[in-house]
Amino acid sequence: MTYKYPSEKIFVEALREKFAGLDLSEQKVKYVRAGYLQSARKREFQAAGERVAEKRGIKQYDANVHLGGMTLGQRQLVPYKLSTRPDIVEGDDLHYVNNPAMQQMWDDMKRTIIVGMDLAHETLEKRLGKEVTPETINGYMEAVNHTMPGAAIVQEHMVETHPGLVDDCYVKIFTGDDELADEIDPQYVININKLFDKEDQNEKLKAAIGKTTWQAVHIPTIVVRSCDGGNTSRWSAMQIGMSFIAAYNMCAGEAAVADLAFAAKHAAAIQMAEMLPARRARSPNEPGGLSFGYCADMVQTMRIKPEDPVWYTLEVVACGTMLYDQIWLGSYMSGGVGFTQYATAAYTNDVLDDFTYYGYDYALNKYGPDGTAPNDLATATDIATETTLNGMESYEDYPTLLEDHFGGSQRAGILAAASACATGIATGNAQVALSGWYMSMYVHKEGWGRLGFFGYDLQDQCGATNVCSYQGDEGECLELRGANYPNYAMNVGHQGEYAGFTGAAHAGAHDAYCCNPLVKVCFADPSLVFDFSYIRREYAKGGMRTFRPAGERSLVIPAGI
Partner 1 sequence: MAYKPQYYPGSSSVAVNRRKHMSGDIEKLRTVSDDDLVAALGHRAPGADYPSTHPPLAEMGEPDCPIRQLVEPTPGAAAGDRVRYSQFTDSMYSAPSTPYFRSYYAAINHRGVDPGTLSGRQIVEARERDMEVYTKATIESEMTCPGLAGLRGCTVHGHSLRLDEDGTMFDMLQRVHLEGGNIIEDKDQVGVPIDRKVNLGKPMTEAEAKKRTTIYRTDGVRYRTEEEVLDHVHLVHHRRTMYGFRPENASETAAGTGDIKYHTV
Residues of this chain that bind partner 1 (CB under 8 A):
26-31, 67-68, 70, 74-75, 376-378, 381-382, 385-386, 389, 392-393, 396-397, 399-400, 402-403, 405-409, 411-412, 435, 438-439, 442-443, 445-454, 457, 461-462, 464-469
| 102-104-108 Cα angle (round to 5) | 125
Q: Quote the least distance from Cβ 400 to partner 1, whole Å.
A: 7
Q: Quote the least distance from Cβ 319 to partner 1, whole Å.
A: 26
Q: Quote the least distance from Cβ 347 to partner 1, whole Å.
A: 20
SS (H, E, C) 244-288: HHHHCCCCCCCCHHHHHHHHHHHHCEEECCCCCCCCCCCCCCCHH
Q: Quote the least distance from Cβ 346 to partner 1, whole Å.
A: 16
Whether the CB-CB separation of 494 and 502 falls below 8 Å is answered with no
d(CA 111, CA 198): 29
Is the CB of 97 or the CB of 378 nearer to partner 1?
A: 378
Nearest to 489 by CA among 282, 336, 296: 282
Is the CB of 23 or the CB of 135 nearer to partner 1?
A: 23
Which are the contacts of 534, defined by CB distance < 8 A and separation ≥ 6?
Answer: 301, 315
Is the CB of 287 or the CB of 399 nearer to partner 1?
A: 399
**Active-site annotation holds for 27:** no
Is the CB of 27 or the CB of 554 nearer to partner 1?
A: 27
Whether the CB-CB separation of 528 and 111 falls below 8 Å is answered with no
d(CA 233, CA 270): 9
| The amino acid at 175 | T
Q: Catalytic one among 64, 155, 193, 365?
A: 155
Q: Catalytic one among 201, 466, 491, 516?
A: 491
**Active-site annotation holds for 491:** yes
Q: Quote the least distance from Cβ 356 to partner 1, whole Å.
A: 17
Whether the CB-CB separation of 293 and 503 falls below 8 Å is answered with no
Q: Quote the least distance from Cβ 474 to partner 1, whole Å.
A: 8
Q: Catalytic one among 324, 342, 358, 534?
A: 342
Is the CB of 68 or the CB of 560 nearer to partner 1?
A: 68
Tell me whether residue 67 is exposed, middle or buried, using C-beta atoms within 10 angstroms of its C-beta: 0 to 12, 13 to 18, 19 or more: exposed
Is the CB of 392 or the CB of 483 nearer to partner 1?
A: 392
Contacts for 474-480: CB closer than 8 Å, 24+ residues apart: 477/430, 477/431, 478/292, 478/293, 478/430, 478/431, 478/433, 478/434, 478/502, 478/505, 479/291, 479/292, 479/293, 479/296, 479/430, 479/514, 479/515, 480/291, 480/292, 480/293, 480/515
d(CA 453, CA 394): 21
Q: Quote the least distance from Cβ 72 to partner 1, whole Å.
A: 8
d(CA 136, CA 116): 16
Is the CB of 21 or the CB of 449 nearer to partner 1?
A: 449
Q: Catalytic one among 49, 73, 408, 455?
A: 455
**Active-site annotation holds for 359:** no
**Active centre residues (catalytic):** 155, 342, 455, 491
